[in-house]
Structure formats: structure tokens, C-alpha cells
Amino acid sequence: MNPPPSPSPAALGDATDEPAERSGRGGVRGGRKQDRSRDADILDATLEVLADVGFAGLTMDLVAQTAHAGKATLYRRWPSKSELIIDAVGHLKRTQVDVEHLPDTGTLRSDLLALFKEQSPDEAEQRIRAVAGVMSLISHDRSFGDAAHSVLVEPWADAHYILMKRAVDRGEIPADADIHSVCQVAPTMAAYRALVQRKPFDLKFLLSMIDGVILPALADS
């Protein structure tokens, strides 16, 4: 549903795709290759530091030290602290919803509830705190919003979409329901709650969404 949002420092790779364009005399162009395995180390270190000391306490020196890297290595890959953090947040996405093993209880309502209960509160908390801690970056870099969205909302909207599609397939809800719009509601409002209001996405709120908005919106007219 959402294409992989080109995550990482691409500029360098692109530039070296074209060898021997220096001068007419043959293009010697050697040199040690950039060790791309450092990328992941650095991004992991960034997330670790973020979790440890928060955004306010994150410094490039600390990241470099944690990743056992030189600052120059960081700046060779990312032009600024902001870009590094944005990439690191984009790196979070892998740990998310397992679309292959969604709950299948027979009714949409219990499916949605099961999906909510399935996730580890700790992991969710950590993910939200990481993203919330760096909301600062929204004003620095437009693309941060996309990264945050793709981490916090899209996977859940996808999951909701699948659950609703199944409900349509088994005739639980009418085929003409706008499940594309409805599947966005709970994940988006949960993210807003977490990021802006800093209130937990708890069961009470989820129930008000499911029983007050989602299921009524999908019911037979």
C-alpha cells in the first residue's frame, strides 16, 4: 500500500555509479569504499541514544561515541544532525505490524480489539516516545512528517484496511462502505493523541472510536 519511502543516504551511491568522468586522462578513481555496514550501526546508535537521553540530550559526539565512529563518518553520510535523526526514525519502521498474521476472530469488532491487544505496550510506548521526542524536526525538515506518518500510522491503517476488507468479503459490512477512508480514522487519531496531546492510546479511547465511529460508519445504511 505504501511504497518503501526511499530511506537512506542515497546521494553518494548515485554519484559513484558513474566512474571515470574526472578528466580526459583516464579516470583513475580508486579509494576505499564506504563501509555501508556502518550506516546501520550509526542509525542503531542514534536510536539507542534517543531512547537513553531523549532528543534534547542527543549530541553528535554521543552518537559517534556510541556507534564507535568518528564524527566525520557521520557527516560523510548525513549533512546534519536533523537528517540523521530523520533517517533513524525512518529506520524504526521494520518493527511493526505483521500483515501475514493478523487476528481472525470472526467479527470485525473483536479483530480490531485483538489487533490492539496483540502489540506489546512496551514496544509501542518506545516507538511513540522515540517519534514524539523528535517531533522537533517537523519544523526543520518537511520529510520528517512523512517518516513519522509511515512509522506510526500507515502500518496500522494497512492492517485495519485488511481486517475491514475481510469483513466485507464475509458479508459482515456492506460492499459499498468507504473502508479506505474509515481505516485511517483510528490510527490517525491515535497518532494525534500520542504526538500532540501526549495522551496514551488506551482501550477506552479505542472503544469510543470503534463503537462510536468505525462500526457505525460501516454498518448497513
Partner DNA sequence: GCCTAACCGAGACGGTACGTCCGGTCTTTTT
Partner DNA sequence: AAAAAGACCGGACGTACCGTCTCGGTTAGGC
Q: Three cell numbers at 19? A: 566512474
Backbone angles phi, psi at 199, to 5 degrees: -105, 150
Backbone angles phi, psi at 181, to 5 degrees: -75, -45
Q: Three cell numbers at 198? A: 501526549
State the minimum distance, in angstroms, from the CB of residue 8 to a copy of itself.
21
* Number of residues binding to DNA, judged by CB under 7 A: 32
Q: Which does 113 bind (CB under 5 to 8 A by kind): DNA, a copy of itself, none?
A: none
Contact status: 38 vs DNA (CB under 7 A): yes
Range list of H helices, 26-141 = 37-57, 60-66, 71-77, 81-91, 108-118, 121-133
The answer to whether the beta carbons of residues 150 and 5 sit under 8 Å apart is yes
Out of 3, 4, 24, 30, the only residue in the binding site for DNA (CB under 7 A) is 30
Nearer to DNA, 30 or 171 (CB): 30
Contact status: 117 vs DNA (CB under 7 A): no
State the minimum distance, in angstroms, from the CB of residue 187 to a copy of itself.
10
State the minimum distance, in angstroms, from the CB of residue 14 to a copy of itself.
25
Closest CA to 102 of 56, 144, 151, 162: 162
**CA-to-CA distance for 146 and 139, rounded, in angstroms?**
13
Contact status: 77 vs DNA (CB under 7 A): yes
**CA-to-CA distance for 181 and 164, rounded, in angstroms?**
11
Nearer to a copy of itself, 106 or 174 (CB): 174
Contact status: 129 vs DNA (CB under 7 A): no
3-state helix, strand, coil in the chain (%, to 5): 65, 0, 35
Out of 8, 65, 119, 126, the only residue in the binding site for DNA (CB under 7 A) is 65
State the minimum distance, in angstroms, from the CB of residue 173 to DNA.
49
Contact status: 79 vs DNA (CB under 7 A): yes
Residues that bind a copy of itself (CB under 8 A): 54-56, 132-140, 142, 145-146, 148-149, 177-178, 180-182, 184-185, 188-189, 191-192, 195-198, 208-209, 211-214, 216-221
Q: Which does 2 bind (CB under 5 to 8 A by kind): DNA, a copy of itself, none?
A: none
The answer to whether the beta carbons of residues 152 and 189 sit under 8 Å apart is no
